[in-house]
Structure 1
Amino acid sequence: MELEPLRIQVFFPASLEIQEELLKAGFKVPHDRESGKKTPIPVVVSSRGERRVRRGRLLKARDFKSDGKFAVVPGERAYLQLEPTERGFLVIRPKPIDYHLEEMGFTSIPPRVWGTWASFSLPFSAYERLLDFLTEFRNGEGNGFYTASRGSGGRIEVYAYKGRRGKDLGIPVFGYSLGLHGLTLAEGYFREKAEENGVPEERLRYLKLGLKKRRETKAGLKVGLVWENGRPVEITLKLSTTEPRVKIQGLYGELVGKSRGELTRTDDWYIVVHASDFITALETAGGAFGGNSY
Structure 2
Amino acid sequence: MEFEMKRMQAFFPASLEIQEELLKAGFRVPYDKESGRRTPIPVVVSSRVERKLRRNRLLKARDFESDGKFALVPGERALLELELTERGFLVLRPKPIEYHLEEMGFVSVPPRVWGTWASFSLPFSAYDELVGFLGEFRDDNGNGFYTASRGSGGRIEVYAYKGRKGKDLGIPVFGYALGLHGLTLAEEYLMEKAKENGVPEERLRYLRLGLKKRRETKAGLKVGIVWENGRPVEITLKLATTEPRVRIQGLYGELVGKSRGELARTDEWYMVVHAGDFMAALEAVGRAFGDKSY
- 2:50 paired with 1:31: no
Report the alpha carbon displacement of residue 187 of structure 1 after superposing the two structures with TM.
0.1
- 2:263 paired with 1:263: yes
1:216-227 to structure 2, matched below 5 A, reads: 216-227=216-227
Give per-residue Cα distances to partners, 1:61-117, cap 9 Å, x unaligned: 000000111100001011000001000000000000000000000000000000000
Q: In the aligned structure 1, how far is the partner of 2:189 from the partner of 2:124?
A: 34
> 2:153 aligns to what?
153
Instruction: Output the amino acid matched with 2:7.
Output: R
- 2:107 paired with 1:119: no
Secondary structure at the counterpart of residue 130 of structure 2: helix
Identity %: 82
Secondary structure at the counterpart of residue 280 of structure 1: helix
Secondary structure at the counterpart of residue 196 of structure 2: helix
Secondary structure at the counterpart of residue 165 of structure 2: helix
1:51-62 to structure 2, matched below 5 A, reads: 51-62=51-62
TM (norm. structure 1) is 0.99
Report the alpha carbon displacement of residue 12 of structure 1 after superposing the two structures with TM.
0.2
Q: In the aligned structure 2, how far is the partner of 1:25 from the partner of 1:152?
A: 42
Q: In the aligned structure 2, how far is the partner of 1:85 from the partner of 1:139?
A: 18
Secondary structure at the counterpart of residue 166 of structure 1: coil
4+ long deviations beyond 4 Å: none
> 1:245 aligns to what?
245
Q: In the aligned structure 2, how far is the partner of 1:141 from the partner of 1:291?
A: 16
> 2:202 aligns to what?
202
Instruction: Output the amino acid matched with 1:269.
Output: W
> 2:106 aligns to what?
106
> 2:75 aligns to what?
75
> 2:86 aligns to what?
86
1:40-55 to structure 2, matched below 5 A, reads: 40-55=40-55
> 2:6 aligns to what?
6
Q: In the aligned structure 2, how far is the partner of 1:73 from the partner of 1:32?
A: 28
Q: In the aligned structure 1, how far is the partner of 2:78 from the partner of 2:141?
A: 33
Give per-residue Cα distances to partners, 1:155-180, cap 9 Å, x unaligned: 00000000011000000000000000
> 2:231 aligns to what?
231
> 2:130 aligns to what?
130
Report the alpha carbon displacement of residue 141 of structure 1 after superposing the two structures with TM.
3.8
Q: In the aligned structure 2, how far is the partner of 1:23 from the partner of 1:120?
A: 29
Q: In the aligned structure 2, how far is the partner of 1:141 from the partner of 1:219?
A: 25
TM (norm. structure 2) is 0.99
Report the alpha carbon displacement of residue 140 of structure 1 after superposing the two structures with TM.
2.6
Q: In the aligned structure 2, how far is the partner of 1:291 from the partner of 1:263?
A: 44
Q: In the aligned structure 1, how far is the partner of 2:122 from the partner of 2:78?
A: 11
> 1:281 aligns to what?
281
Instruction: Output the amino acid matched with 1:271.
Output: M
Instruction: Output the amino acid matched with 2:160.
Output: A
Give per-residue Cα distances to partners, 1:165-203, cap 9 Å, x unaligned: 100000000000000000000000000000000000000
Instruction: Output the amino acid matched with 2:268.
Output: D
> 2:165 aligns to what?
165
Secondary structure at the counterpart of residue 164 of structure 1: coil
Report the alpha carbon displacement of residue 143 of structure 1 after superposing the two structures with TM.
1.4
Instruction: Output the amino acid matched with 2:108.
Output: S
Q: In the aligned structure 2, how far is the partner of 1:21 from the partner of 1:143?
A: 42
Task: Report how many aligned residue pairs link the two structures.
Answer: 294
Task: Name stretches of at least 5 consecutive residues in structure 1 with no aligned partner.
Answer: none
Report the alpha carbon displacement of residue 293 of structure 1 after superposing the two structures with TM.
1.4
Q: In the aligned structure 1, how far is the partner of 2:122 from the partner of 2:143?
A: 26
Report the alpha carbon displacement of residue 138 of structure 1 after superposing the two structures with TM.
1.1
Instruction: Output the amino acid matched with 1:21.
Output: E
Instruction: Output the amino acid matched with 2:171.
Output: I
Instruction: Output the amino acid matched with 1:207.
Output: L
Report the alpha carbon displacement of residue 292 of structure 1 after superposing the two structures with TM.
1.4
Instruction: Output the amino acid matched with 2:192.
Output: E
Q: In the aligned structure 2, how far is the partner of 1:108 from the partner of 1:243?
A: 21
Q: In the aligned structure 2, how far is the partner of 1:214 from the partner of 1:89?
A: 18
Secondary structure at the counterpart of residue 18 of structure 2: helix
Q: In the aligned structure 2, how far is the partner of 1:263 from the partner of 1:38?
A: 23
Report the alpha carbon displacement of residue 257 of structure 1 after superposing the two structures with TM.
0.1
